[in-house]
Structure 1
Amino acid sequence: MKKLVNDPSFVVREMLEGIARTAPHVAVLGDENVLIRNPLPSAPARSVAVISGGGSGHEPAHGGYVGQGMLSAAVCGEVFTSPSTDAVLAAIRASAGPNGALLIVKNYTGDRLNFGLAAELARAGGIPVEIVIVADDVSLRGHTERNQRRGIAGTVLVHKIAGAAAARGDALGLVAAIARSAAENLGTMGVALDGCTLPGVEKAGFRLADDEIELGMGIHGEKGVERTAPMAAGVLTETLLANIVEDLALKSGERVALLVNGLGATPQMELAIIMRDAFESLSRRQVVVERAWTGTFLSALNMPGCSISVLRLDDAKLALLDADTEAHAWPGIGTVNRQIRIEPAFSAADTRAEAGATPADAASEHWMRLLKPALDAVAHALIENEALFTDLDSRAGDGDLGASMHRAAQAIIAVPQSALGSPGSALGALSTALRRAIAGSSGPFYATALLRASRTLGETAQPGALDWAAAMRGAAEAISELGGAKPGDRTMLDALVPAVEALENAVKSACPVGEAWAQAVSAAESGARTTAQMTPRAGRASYLGARAIGTPDGGAVVVACWLKALQPHIDAV
């Protein structure tokens, strides 16, 4: 497994030094793998020190939460390994004053032993110390007592609440009580989509098949409670939340904080979808989400997956969550946006006008009957070839062409038949539909081309073959003007321009329209094949240079595809 490390034996130390380099309020404590607030007030002036930690590999936990208003120190063991007793003791001695220290410990045997022994040694040295154990993993609720469950991502919320209580000057006993109350009203459940890989190890600790996920996964790669088939995000979210809600006995009208946490390799896109579904699920239960955060807060190296944490709130806990902190990994107040949609300023009439709807008469009904099946044929051809387009684009671009053409097909199918009452209005409606449906480069190119073609035809009620050829010529010119490409640059124009020229020449030679179109299709297919030997000089493929040679341009292949799909319908049009 490729990793950006120097020596696996020193990853923790080097990581801590890297964190400290961009966080002026923290420092590494001597030779210990401890990050500590810097500077600290003089010992007599210090508030209760809040200390946490555990094995490394959970970044940004725990070092990212060191700072005024959160942790006084983070004790970082080797990857997935509890820190030593001496390291914990060093953190206590360095950060605690007469007001003592609170240790927040996730419920793992190694952490409990080493933090517990360090607490005893500190007390023997005259430092008051309290310990709060976090055991928020509700996935184990059917197997173990609550005090035997694992501590996972919800621990970060306990850090925040305890750190804020300490920062406002609460005594050790009160800070500990507040932290215990938070831990007792906290539930978390996670899911893994695959395993994670430790530095210096060739393979992941475990692997999941493509048709497997692990529910109730811990944060060290330890097994969950059930291996099952993948689920849609909404179903999975509901599964996790149902366990949390039942365990906390949440009732209608209660207030909560919601934390959606990535396990290290989950894109923000997917975490945002989980947040959406979690918020809606809790809202359906009439549970009020007062604060919400989405991101990676406590990871498991490079594990794909996520966890959901829910904390029952009251006004006191809410105030502590909202309190300021300088910890650089805390994202700030998790304000919930309760109105996420606004209506556009333009009217429904504007939308209908732009779509090109025309009053029904005999002429318009004629065009509707002719154009609808032709456009449907194009749409189905794009859908059937989605995998081909994706493959071609993946070799020389970003791989999104297939998905873009699938969206284009759906947009084409959705164009109302009332918008197809004339050739000009039909092309205009297609331009609007594709502009809205396709992002990236394909959308603007096709929208501009169709708009120019629509203007070329204008109000012509019965365009002839030369009129259609002129509209195609205008479309090609619009694409060239917009993107700056020309034939030979390995783009869609290398199929479209030869097709236009073949159509024009055939029509001027008095070929039947069907035969002329067949020649255009043949020219487009030949042009698309030729792009395989071209060095790209425009578009994203141009970044590859000669490396793109050998594969036809996806955009040119798409042009040949839709031209051929139209062929059976040309004589009728």
Structure 2
Amino acid sequence: MKKLINDPRSVVPDMLEGLATLHPGHALLEGENVVLRSDLPPLPERRGVALISGGGAGHEPAHAGYVGAGMLSAAVTGEVFTSPGTDAVLAAIRAVAGADGVLLIVKNYTGDRLNFGLAAELARGEGIAVELVVVADDVALRDTVEAGRRRGVAGTVLVHKVAGAAAAAGLPLAEVAREAREAAAAVGTMGVALGACTVPAAGRAGFTLGEDEIELGLGIHGERGVRRTTLEPAAAIVGTILETILSDAAIAAGEQVALLVNGLGGTPPMELAIVAAEAIAQLRARGVHVARAWSGNLLTALEMPGCSLSVMRLDALRLQRLDAPTSAPAWPRGGVLAERVARTAAPHASVTAAELFRNDHGQGRAVRDAALAIAAALEAEERQLTELDSIAGDGDLGISMARGAAAVREIPPAAWSSAAAGLAAMSEALRRAIAGSSGPFYATALLRAARSLGACDPVTPGDWASAFDLGVSGVSDLGGARPGDRTMLDALRPAADALSSAIAAGRPFRVALSAMLEAGERGAEATAAMNPRLGRAAYLGDRAAGVPDAGAAAVVVWLRALERHLAG
């Protein structure tokens, strides 16, 4: 287990110290793991209902992140995934309660209900008006337990917002509690986990999943879900979750909802955005109007990879509560959606690069055949290139080469009107298909080679050698690399030099191609002993030694395919 902590026994106070330091609107209650609004007026001057929520740590930014005007007055934090004790909750009640009373918002876990419930009883005995609202929004348990025994999960955040806005509007305790209960009844949530999380005190993951397994319908305490199943595309997983939520709540076409896409702590924003797009599209396809939607880490389970979807049925008042202002730092703000994604057509050049080289030297088809042979070789080596690039790079070279190969296959036949036109068309295709560094490098090399061949009539072996040389120089000029820097140039430059030398010596073209391949192979092999000076591998220093550069290896793949195709 690796955690950026000081001591498992001090995780919670250390965390709260950091949160309060980062947010001037927060204060800490002396002697307790409680975060308060720092702007609370003296007790005799307090007006309005105070709101308190909380639970075990590990759900950050919940619950302290929702402390602020328009949401919570205080948040009580227990140990990781453990309910705070009764005395801590009671201390929070005493700290924030005014004449208008306190509302406790509790997730439906036994420990939370017991400790918050007992604290409410004790506070009432002291003359403090207290109401308690329980959130039980986990629809994954619909076939397992009765509705009142379901777990409280991420929908609790929306209940915080509705209740906080109602309290800020000046409503009495009974009315704030009523709106909170109605909001809790109007929201359904279901989650999916792609892996487990590790509780600091336990030091090991709560469960183990296979490479293609997921847990559907999990809670927020690192526990397993209600069903283990096979990983599917995001669209299918979202469909399963939404079907469960919507059928449980009987939400029909024409109704208005709010959507919360909640990360469980280990899911990148990229994946949450994909899930959000799918969820919104599928809700709209059902005729359900998504009036508001948010995506992010809002109520997590430490570093668990996965997410949950919460859908809340809206009326005009509940929508107004969600839109009301709050100073709570973790509330995501906004949430208004466009009816459709705005799309602007990208401008294109009036003349493509391939159209500049229309003269037919009879070699366009031969170039196309060679290019397709290279494409097939790169596709066949995708996994090997990925593994090699993962050692000292970012692991995307294999898929980049495969994307480039697919783009070459899509070049229309008319674009191969000549050798130069074919190279120019490949340059354009690779420029568009491959991001990162490989796309610009290959696009530049091919474009320079195309320009060189465009003036040749007919194209001779010497012209090809010159075009190859100019293309390799283009790569060097663009990236600044030189032979010995442990890059693709270490295979390209010796290969180009060998081809030029063999042609200049009058050797047959096939012999020259063999010399080119052998020089490229030796150059790529030599990179294993080089100290990287450019690219991502340069950040690893000696740790990149012992394996050849992935970019140079990719060069050898297509040099070998080219030599075999032309020699065959």
Q: Same fold (TM over 0.5)?
A: yes
Aligned equivalent of 1:356: 354
Match of 1:451 among 447, 460, 476: 447
Query: Does the 8 Å CA contact 1:135/1:146 hold for their aligned counterparts?
Result: yes
The residue that corresponds to 1:15 in the other structure is 15
Matched, 1:411 2:407: yes
Match of 1:200 in 2: 201
Q: Could you give the per-residue CA deviations for residues 77-131 of structure 1, whole angstroms, max 9, x where no partner exists? A: 1111111111111111111101111111101111111111111111121111111
Shift of 1:41: 2.1
Among 514, 520, 527, the residue aligned to 1:524: 520
Deviation at 1:461, TM superposition (A): 4.6
Report the Cα offset of residue 547 of structure 1: 2.2
CA distance in 2, matches of 1:453, 1:42: 78
> For residues 221 and 568 of structure 1, what CA distance do their matches in structure 2 show?
55
Matched residue, 2:173: 172
Counterpart for residue 33 of structure 1: 33
Deviation at 1:296, TM superposition (A): 0.7
Count, aligned residues: 567
Match of 1:436 in 2: 432
Q: Aligned runs of 1:325-474 on 2, under 5 Å?
A: 325-346=326-347, 350=349, 353-354=351-352, 356=354, 363=360, 366-474=362-470
Which position in structure 2 is the counterpart of 1:152?
153
**2:101 is the alignment partner of 1:100:** yes
Structure-1 residue corresponding to 2:471: 475
- Asked if the contact 1:212–1:230 (Cα under 8 Å) also holds between the matched residues in 2, the reply is yes
Q: After superposition, give the CA deviation of every residue in 1:138-174 in whole Å (9 maximum; x if it has no partner).
A: 0111122111100001100111111111112111111
Please report how far the alpha carbon of residue 373 of structure 1 lies from its aligned counterpart in structure 2 after TM superposition.
2.3
Q: Which moved more, 1:204-213 or 1:375-384?
A: 204-213
- 2:136 is aligned to 135
Distance 1:312 1:156 in 2: 14
Deviations 1:148-202 (A, max 9, x none): 1000011001111111111121111111111111111100000111211111323
How many Å separate the matches in 2 of 1:54 and 1:546? 47
Partner-residue secondary structure (3-state), 1:570: helix
Higher alpha-carbon deviation: 331-340 or 463-472? 331-340
The separation in 2 between residues aligned to 1:384 and 1:461, in whole angstroms, is 35
Partners of 1:119 and 1:488 in 2: CA distance:
73
| Partners of 2:492 and 2:520 within 8 A in 1 | yes
TM-score of the superposed pair, with normalisation by structure 1: 0.96
Deviation at 1:423, TM superposition (A): 1.4
* Identical aligned residues as a percent: 57
Give the distance between the partners of 1:547 and 1:93, measured in 2 at CA.
58
C-alpha separation in 1, matches of 2:262 and 2:184? 17
> Could you tell me how far apart the structure 2 residues matched to 1:508 and 1:520 are?
13
Q: Which amino acid aligns with 2:203?
A: E
Higher alpha-carbon deviation: 28-37 or 368-377: 368-377
TM-score, normalised on structure 2?
Answer: 0.97
SS at match of 2:352: helix
**Alignment partners' CA distance in 1, 2:540 and 2:48:** 58
SS of the counterpart of 2:117? helix
Query: Cα gap change, 1:345/1:233 in structure 2, threshold over 3 Å: closer, same or farther?
Result: closer
Q: Does residue 1:498 correspond to 2:494, yes or no? A: yes
For residue 520 of structure 1, give the secondary structure of its aligned residue in structure 2: helix
Does the 8 Å contact 1:357/1:420 carry over to 2? Answer: no
Question: Could you report, residue by residue, the CA deviation over 1:443-494 in whole angstroms, capped at 9, with x for unpaired residues?
Answer: 1111111111111112435311111111111111111111111111111111
Matched, 1:252 2:237: no
C-alpha displacement at 1:390, in angstroms?
A: 1.4
| Separation (CA, whole Å) in 1 of partners of 2:486 and 2:212 | 39
TM-superposed CA distance for 1:345, in Å, is 4.3
Instruction: Give the counterpart letter for 2:419 in structure 1.
Output: P
Which blocks of at least 5 consecutive residues in structure 1 are unaligned? none
**Taking structure 1 as reference, are residues 343 and 333 closer, same or farther at Cα in structure 2, changes over 3 Å only?**
closer
Question: Counterparts of 2:186 and 2:498 in 1: how far apart (Å)?
Answer: 73
In 2, Cα distance between equivalents of 1:223 and 1:507: 67
Partner-residue secondary structure (3-state), 1:506: helix
Q: Find the counterpart in structure 2 of residue 235 from structure 1.
A: 236
After TM superposition, give the deviation of residue 360 of structure 1 in Å.
9.1
Q: RMSD value over aligned CA atoms?
A: 1.7
2:29 is aligned with what amino acid?
L
The equivalent residue for 2:112 is: 111
Structure 1 residue 511: deviation in Å?
1.4
- 1:339: Cα distance to partner? 3.2
Residue aligning to 1:225? 226
What one-letter code is carried by the residue in structure 2 that aligns with 1:440?
G
Residue of structure 1 equivalent to 2:288: 287
Is the 8 Å Cα contact of residues 358 and 419 (structure 1) preserved in structure 2? no
Distance 2:30 2:248 in 1: 43
> How many angstroms apart in 1 are the aligned matches of 2:149 and 2:246?
19
**Counterpart Cα distance in 1 of 2:207 and 2:233:** 23
Q: Are residues 165 and 418 of structure 1, via their aligned partners in 2, closer, same or farther at CA, if it must alter by over 3 Å? A: same
Q: How does 1:527-566 map to 2 (within 5 A)?
A: 527-566=523-562
Aligned partner of 1:136: which letter?
D
Deviations for 1:500-546, whole angstroms, at most 9, x for unmatched residues? 11111111111111221111011101110011111111112112222
